[in-house]
């Protein structure tokens, strides 16, 4: 390969290594045991317009049925599968929200009579959820162009994350300023009430003592 291409390839590899922690944060893999006739849910906050993909595998048990359901904070169903054992899912978020992935085990047999099921869940979102091999085939990209495309998408994701963090910081600052202003007004109101109450007590006691002829 030519020197410019080799240099670009080296820069791409270095950038991938530097941004590797961000890649890792976009991947969530977990395994847990699901007791019979129980329900376990996992929650994760995801930004707007983000592709989310997942792959799950549930160990099979006799006379046991396991359902999988993914919902948002408004209880809208994004993915649902009854009697799930192994499969994949994908959806794109419409807004920044808290998403919930729930596994529910049902069996006519009582708890303790059936072994727990092993659940393996591998979720990816953002850059890691995209299939760059398929993109390379469709657009006929070279390996270096694929890496540059991946870095471009990752950079855009990082910029969006920083923009969201800045927005949240501004919202929190506005909330703090609004709270401080309300506290100040409440303190002034409380002081006025105390001064008014103290003044009323002085005049009331003065009239009371005059009525009792204790003072002139």
> Over its length of 216 residues, how does the chain's per-residue pLDDT go in tens digits?
444 444 444 444 444 444 444 444 455 688 999 988 899 999 988 888 888 899 999 998 888 899 999 998 888 899 999 999 899 999 888 888 889 999 999 888 766 677 889 999 998 887 777 777 777 788 887 888 878 877 887 888 788 778 878 888 988 998 898 899 999 999 999 999 999 999 999 988 888 887 777 666
Residue 63 domain-assigned (yes or no): yes
The pLDDT, as a whole number, for residue 19 is 45
Q: State residue 140's pLDDT score.
A: 81
* 84 domain-assigned: yes
**Does residue 19 lie within any of the structural domains?**
no
Residue 119 lies in a domain: yes
Q: Is residue 90 part of a domain?
A: yes
Residue 125: what are its φ and ψ, rounded to 5°? -145, 155
Residues pairing with 42 in the sheet = 101
73, 97 in Cβ contact below 8 A? yes
- Residue 2, both tokens: 């030519």
Instruction: Look at residue 190 and tell me if it is in a domain.
Output: no
pLDDT at 2: 45
pTM: 0.59
Asked whether 21 and 72 are in contact (CB, 8 A), the reply is no
For 91, the domain range is 30-128
Model pLDDT, residue 134: 79
Q: What's the pLDDT score for residue 216?
A: 63
Task: Quote the number of domains for the chain.
Answer: 1
In a domain, 112, yes or no: yes
What's 124's domain CATH number?
A: 2.60.120.680
80-90 burial: b if 16+ Cβ within 10 Å, else e: eeeebeeeebe
CB 122 within 8 A of CB 56: yes
Answer whether residue 24 is part of any domain.
no
List the one residue out of 146, 144, 128, 126 whose CA is nearest residue 136. Answer: 146
- Check residue 197 and give its pLDDT: 93
Task: Compute φ and ψ for 198, nearest 5 degrees.
Answer: -65, -40
Q: What is the pLDDT of residue 108?
A: 82
């Amino acid at each position: 390969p030519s020197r410019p291409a080799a240099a670009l390839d080296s820069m791409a590899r270095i950038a991938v290594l530097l941004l590797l922690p961000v890649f890792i944060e976009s991947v969530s893999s977990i395994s847990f045991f699901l007791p019979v006739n129980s329900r376990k849910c996992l929650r994760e906050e995801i930004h707007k317009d983000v592709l989310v993909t997942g792959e799950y595998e549930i160990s099979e048990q006799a006379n046991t049925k396991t359902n999988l359901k993914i919902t948002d904070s408004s209880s809208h169903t994004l993915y649902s599968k009854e009697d799930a054992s192994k499969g994949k899912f994908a959806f794109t978020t419409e807004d920044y929200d808290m998403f919930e992935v729930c596994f529910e085990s049902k069996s006519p047999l009582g708890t303790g009579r059936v072994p727990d099921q092993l659940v393996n869940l591998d979720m990816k979102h953002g850059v890691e959820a995209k299939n760059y091999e398929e993109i390379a085939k469709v657009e006929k990209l070279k390996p270096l162009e694929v890496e540059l495309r991946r870095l471009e998408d990752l950079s855009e994701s990082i910029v969006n994350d920083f923009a969201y963090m800045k927005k949240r910081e501004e919202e929190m600052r506005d909330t703090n300023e609004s709270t401080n202003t309300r506290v100040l007004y409440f303190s002034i109101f409380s002081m006025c009430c105390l001064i008014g109450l103290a003044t009323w007590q002085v005049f009331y006691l003065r009239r009371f003592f005059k009525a009792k002829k204790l003072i002139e």
